[in-house]
Amino acid sequence: MKNIISIENISLENMEHLFNVANKRDELFNTYKGVLNGKILGTLFFQPSTRTQLSFQSSFVKLGGSVIGFSDIQSSRSGSSSSESFEDLGKIIESYCDVITMRSSFDNDIKSLSSNCDIPIISAGNGQEEHPTQALIDIFTMQSYIKDLNEVNLLICGNLHYRTINSLLLGLRHWPDINIHILTPEVFNLDARYIKKIEKLKNLNIYHDYEELRKKNILNKIDFLYQEEFHNGFINSQDAYKQFKKFYLTQEIFDMFNKDIKILHPLPRTKTLPTWLDEKENSIYFEQARNGLYIRAALFLKLFEHI
């Protein structure tokens, strides 16, 4: 396991190994205290990030390493003022770091960087293609409640063009009997690049209205709701609000679920997820965000052969 650009780069065996280590949670940082002393993480976040960037950095520092990097492509020579190629950037940065984590708005930037770089590269989100470490976090969080995901009923509500959902579906192929219900506006279809890859998921169905799920008596069987967003760039648009409002989680919809449902969201949220949910035991999205610290720490330990 070297570059982690897709969740497909991580086998089920490695995934389970990472989860076993991450399950130590805060004790992990006592057990492996200082093991990354002298190692340097280069962070290239050429797209805004809060949880992903800080959890990568925090986990590396907690294990004894150091961090350098950029939070804005325009502050590097790969910005518009110089437009240094990502192939050259990768070759240069490998001289200064031991591992790189990168986020970009464009699908191919991370692949270009990795094509001429001899140190490990971890995707922190490549365009709308994939977000592999987020999928690890999501699966780990669900397994914290139900170990065998083949027994799970999962409802994914969101934009099927988002990288979080792409990676989550690819990662769940290891549990082919999981029941996946996808709720999405009709304007969104499964990405053609992934349809063939997720054929192993035998019980995957797509719906376009909560009423369809209610009529089929599905809502009261859902174990996890994975709520995502629907739109970028026009979040305050009235047209967008009208189009997607019926998919927002309201009290009326929440009451149709069974009382033990767990709610996940990769964050940040908008109106899709009301703040009154925060105090309910059903809501595990802040726990999910904290799990990013443990999963990414376990990933660093694996890459540097400490586990």
Quote the percentage of the chain above a pLDDT of 70: 93
| Domains of the chain listed by start with CATH number | 7-131+292-303 (3.40.50.1370), 146-283 (3.40.50.1370)
Can you name the residues that pair with 263 across neighbouring β-strands?
225, 283
Total number of residues shown for the chain: 307
Q: pLDDT value at position 81?
A: 53
For the record, the structure tokens of 246 come out as 């019926």
Q: What is the CA radius of gyration of the chain?
A: 20
pLDDT digits (tens, 9 = 90+) for 15-46: 999 999 999 999 999 999 999 999 999 999 99
CA–CA dist 215, 218 (Å, integer): 8
Q: If you average pLDDT over every residue of the chain, what do you get?
A: 92
In the structure, what pLDDT confidence band is assigned to residue 243 with cuts at 50, 70 and 90?
Answer: confident
Of the candidates 107, 94, 165, the one whose C-alpha atom is nearest the C-alpha of residue 132 is 165
pLDDT at 245 over 60: yes
* pLDDT tens digits along 71-129: 876 766 565 555 788 899 989 999 999 999 999 988 899 999 999 999 999 999 999 99
For residue 216, pLDDT over 80 is answered with yes
Mean pLDDT of 193-203: 89
**Could you give the CA distance from residue 31 to residue 175 in angstroms, rounded to a whole number?**
31
| CA-wise closest residue to 91 among 108, 81, 77 | 77
